[in-house]
Structures are given as C-alpha cells and as structure tokens.
Amino acid sequence: MAATQDFTAAMKDMMGAFPMDMAAFEDAWKNSAGISEKASAIALDAAGKTADISVGWTMETLTRIGDLAKAKPAPMDYAQAMTDFATAQMQSVSEHLTAYGDVAKSAQSDAMALMMSVGQDVADDVTATTATTAKATEKAATKAASAATTTAKRATTAAKRTTTTAAKRSTTAAKKTTTAATKAATTAAAPAPAPAAEPVKKAAEEAPAAPAPAASIAPKTSPASDDGKS
C-alpha cells in the first residue's frame, strides 16, 4: 500500500525560500481585528436599540388592544374606543419610525467615523511606508553611487599604474636598445687591428729546414766486368 506523501516539509522549504516580514502581517491582522470589533460594536448597538424600540412598540400596541377589548356600557363607546386606538397607533407608528431613523442615522454616523479613522490610519501607514521606502531607496542609491565612485577611482588608479609601468618598461627597453645600438655602431666604426708580424716571424723560424737535393752517384764498375772487356 502506497504511503501518503507528507507535504509539510515541502511547504516549509517553499515558505523558507520566500522569506516574508511577518511583523507587517501581524500589524495588518491586529488592525483588521480592531476594525471588526468596532464595526461589530456599532452593529450590535444599533440592533439592541432597534429591539428595544420594537419591544416597546409591541407592548404599547398590546396595551391599547387590551383597552379596546374591554367591555363598554354603550355601542357608541366601542366606536370611540376604535377611533382612539387608531389615532394612538398612528402616533405610535410615527414616533417609532422616527426612533428607527435616529438609530440608523447614529449607526451610519458611527460607521462613517470608523471608516474615516481607518482611512486616516491607512493614509498614515502609506505615508510612513512611502517615507521609509524613499529613505531606503535614497540610501541604496547613495551606496551604489559610492560604490561606482570607488570602482571608478580604483580603475583609474590601476590604469595609471599600468600606464606608468608600461612607460617605465618602454623607456628602459628603449635605453637598452639605444645603448646596444651605440655599442654596435662604435664597434663597427673602429679600424680593424693590423696583423701581428712577430708571430709570423716566429713561426717561420720554428719551421724545419727543407732537405738539400741528393747528389747524382755514378754506378760503380765491377772488376769482373773490366776483365771481360779486356
């Protein structure tokens, strides 16, 4: 049987990935609860007053009906009683409707005052939030401008250092090249040294003498050959 996946950890991770300022929600909740309490108090007060008017009207009507139901000594008395009852009821209706109107007017005035108060509180909150946001934005802009200025200064300093180093290296290389060229030109312009005579003479003296050419030697005649000839 597959186990039911628990989404609690996933929801916690998701809510943790999107941090929110809970103080604002708490303040909004408190304000909403306070407004609801005041509005409920206005409505309950109006309902209580309306109930009191209705109960009073009902009791007055029942009392008049009781008077009307009493036995009269003559038929004309019943007619007078009906006339009095109708007149009293008309006056009662006018009075109680006026009372209902006063209650409604009072409730409307209280509700309007509550709404104005809420609107003023909201306007104050918006003003405070706007001022805070403006200050935060100004502060962030100031920090950004300061950071940009610092970065520009660092870049300028680095560029100056690089330019100075490159110029020094170029100057040094140029000096070395000039020196080398001067030495080469001096060496090329100097006369070639004359050959040394003494080493040649010494070499000639140390060389062995050439052998003399050998003399021609006539062949000797043997005595035997001489005797034969004779």
What DSSP string runs through 29-87? HHHHHHHHHHHHHHHHHHHHHHHHHHHHHHHHHHHHHHHHHS--SSHHHHHHHHHHHHH
Establish if 33 belongs to a structural domain: yes
Establish if 49 belongs to a structural domain: yes
Tens digit of pLDDT at every position of the chain (230 positions): 556 667 777 777 766 666 666 666 677 777 788 888 888 999 999 999 999 999 999 999 999 999 888 888 888 888 898 999 999 999 999 999 999 999 999 999 999 998 888 877 777 777 777 777 777 778 777 887 888 788 878 878 887 888 888 778 878 887 888 888 777 777 776 665 555 555 555 555 665 555 555 444 444 444 444 444 44
Establish if 183 belongs to a structural domain: no
Q: Which of 117, 105, 112, 110 is nearest to 41 (CA)?
A: 110
Establish if 17 belongs to a structural domain: no
Establish if 110 belongs to a structural domain: yes
Instruction: Tell me how many domains the chain contains.
Output: 1
Establish if 47 belongs to a structural domain: yes
Establish if 162 belongs to a structural domain: no
Establish if 181 belongs to a structural domain: no
Domain that holds residue 56: 22-146
